[in-house]
Structure 1
Amino acid sequence: MNIKKVASLIAPQAPHFVGDGFRVHNFIPHGNLIGMHRMDPFIMLDYNSAYEFAPSAVPKGVGVHPHRGFETVTIAYKGKVAHHDSSGGGGVINEGDVQWMTAASGVLHKEYHEEGFSKTGGLFQMVQLWVNLPAKDKMSAPKYQAITKEAIPQYTLENEAGSIAVIAGAYKSVKGAASTFTPIHIYNAKLHKGAAVDIDLPESYHTALLVIEGSIVVNGEQAVSTDHFALFENGGTTFTITASEDALVLILSGEPIAEPIVAHGPFVMNTQQEIMQAFNDFNQGKFGYLED
């Protein structure tokens, strides 16, 4: 077996708020350890660890803002989010659902706690990823994939060990729900205490995992606790996860796009000139209209 080893184990740093509705730990980028190229095509990961929001008559969230050049992927573990964008995409992301928004040539969007959840308050837990697009697709038309929990294919592990929900890519014979521009695997592995599972991924892919619930041991030697992030070396093809207790693990792996990345605020392009063009287009109203 060609073992893929853990390169770095990262504890959650002090959280910060995005708007007033998302209390997040940032794992990608992460200081000098993980830049946008190190986990490309995953160029950002914000993790709203489980947090109790008090009831609010006015839904908390993030107001209208633009994006260009990449995709946002929101995975809902606890709580509900309402989303709207200027290309017509939108809806409510319920627990277990995934929202996959391709900003591409440019959209305005906003995200808030769903109205009913806001009124009652409760436990809120989400992951948001930014997934890079290759240069040839950065100016393609925006699109939106609303992926419900029921639509995400599941691979059932033997001996009632648990299951793997395949959001994107494939696990063994099970193909994921999301359409992607480049080869990407995104899994939610739900494991019962004592269960072990082998994950096989291409050696050249950038790979990491985040423990959403419980705790695990990787390759029989590296313990990873709740809310901790493990970055894998670029080498090897297989790693083993053993659940120290009932666990839920987000696994990310993707083929690097290996193109220049120039990012500024909500725009991720290949050159500084393209960033300036994005700002000009936004200021000229070319991203459409969305009421705040």
Structure 2
Amino acid sequence: MNSHRAVPRAIAYRTRGQGHGPIVRLMSPSDLGRILKPFVFLDIFEMDAQTLRAFAMPGAGMPIHPHSGIATVTIITEGWLRFEDPANGSGRIGYGGVEWMRASGGVWHGKEMTAGEGVSHVQGFQLWVALPAELENAEPESRYIEAKDMRSAGPAVVVVGSYEGTSSPVPAPDGYNYLLVTLKAGERWTYTPPPGHTVGWLAVAKGALHAGEAVDAGEMVLFEQRADPIALQAGVDGSVFVLGSAVPHPYPLHLGMYSVHTSREALTSGERRIAELGRKLNEGGDRRTAAGTVPVFR
């Protein structure tokens, strides 16, 4: 919908998160994730060529680490990353593409993508989504979907979910939308959430937005928990941002170091499984591909 007459849904909270080198943590399961669940974690990352090379080195950058009970969604807003995986082929994830990894009962990952040839700068987001009880300890799955295979509704790439009759090819559970949006300078756009999507937030990668109040690059804002439209207008340099809406996750969050589950019993099961996978991973030795990636272990 592109009606500029919609009344803006008010911003309830805003944050610039906490920086960790080239990564800024905007939301964690122990803070804003408890308000925005099923969305429980959001990082924005930005790396130059030197940092990209360092992150790709064995033992450096983001270490290989486990997850259970969640799905991770990684998208790129600038540059591109290469994937190579015996189970998923090889290709590139740039603007509009997505790495979807449903950790469910347990995976280890962290180096499954590497810098693309000639790329001098990469920016993107990694989101975690809490899974429903029937999926939190199921068999995991991971997919890489290139930009050419994704679908858009107006200025929005439908990363997860369905919007304005357009559905994402990502096999995510129902109940939430995640969009990657680019607006031109001064462009107005209104997001009308599906029925029941009272959770709403956005985070700006580039440029600025007006959402009743100014929202600048690097900021994340939470909207009032109601199902009204979110009316936006890009600043003079345009804007690139991600936006999420959802039906509230009906379960409490039970947290491990890298895991989020709906109950203590489910968390115990997930952590037992990732410990077992960790032992097998160590016994298996070097799994690095010719491209320098280490495929998801599950």
- Aligned match for 1:207, one of 200, 220, 224: 200
- 1:41 corresponds to: 38
Q: Which residue of 2 aligns with 1:16?
A: 20
State the Cα deviation string for residues 136-194 of structure 1 (Å, max 9, x = none): 111111112211111121223xxxxxx22111222212222322113111111211111
Q: Does 1:216 align with 2:209?
A: yes
Shift of 1:116: 4.7
Cα separation, 2, equivalents of 1:227 and 1:57 = 23
Read off the aligned partner of 1:250 and give its amino acid letter: V
Cα distance change on mapping 1:175 and 1:271 into 2, 3 Å: closer
Rounded to whole Å, the distance in 2 between the matches of 1:135 and 1:141 is 13
Greater than 4 Å deviation, 4+ residue runs: 82-85, 87-93
Judge conservation of contact 1:108–1:288 (CA < 8 Å) in 2.
no
- What's the % identity of the aligned pairs? 21
Q: Is the 8 A contact 2:81 2:94 kept in 1?
A: no
TM-score, length basis structure 1: 0.82
Paired residues, number: 272
* Cα contact 1:80–1:92 (8 A) shared by 2: no
Give the Cα separation in 1 of the matches to 2:90 and 2:38.
Answer: 26
Task: Could you tell me which runs of 5 or more consecutive residues in structure 2 were left unpaired when the two chains were aligned.
Answer: 1-5, 288-298
- Once the two structures are TM-superposed, the CA of residue 239 in structure 1 deviates from its matched residue by 1.6
Q: Which residue pairs with 1:76 in the alignment? A: 76
**TM-score, reference length from structure 2:** 0.80
5 Å-filtered alignment, 1:60-71, equals 60=57, 61-71=61-71
CA distance in 1, matches of 2:210, 2:161: 24
SS in 2 for 1:248: strand
Matches within 5 A, 1:1-292: 3-13=8-18, 15-17=19-21, 23-29=22-28, 34=32, 36-48=33-45, 50-54=46-50, 56=53, 59-60=56-57, 61-82=61-82, 88=87, 91-96=90-95, 97-111=97-111, 114=114, 116-117=116-117, 122-156=120-154, 163-201=155-193, 202=195, 204-218=197-211, 221-245=212-236, 246-285=238-277, 289=281, 291=286
Q: Which has the higher strand share?
A: 1
For residues 10 and 55 of structure 2, what CA distance do their matches in structure 1 show? 46
Structure 1 stretches lacking a partner, 5+ long:
18-22, 157-162
Opposite residue 244 of structure 2, the aligned amino acid is L
Structure 1 residues 268 and 236: CA distance shift in structure 2, 3 A: closer
Higher mean C-alpha deviation, range 125-134 or range 144-153: 144-153
**1:106 & 1:12 partners in 2: Cα distance?**
27
Higher RCO (C-alpha under 8 Å, 6+ residues apart): 2
1:14-49: per-residue Cα shift (whole Å, max 9, x none)? x104xxxxx2111112875x2x2211111110111x
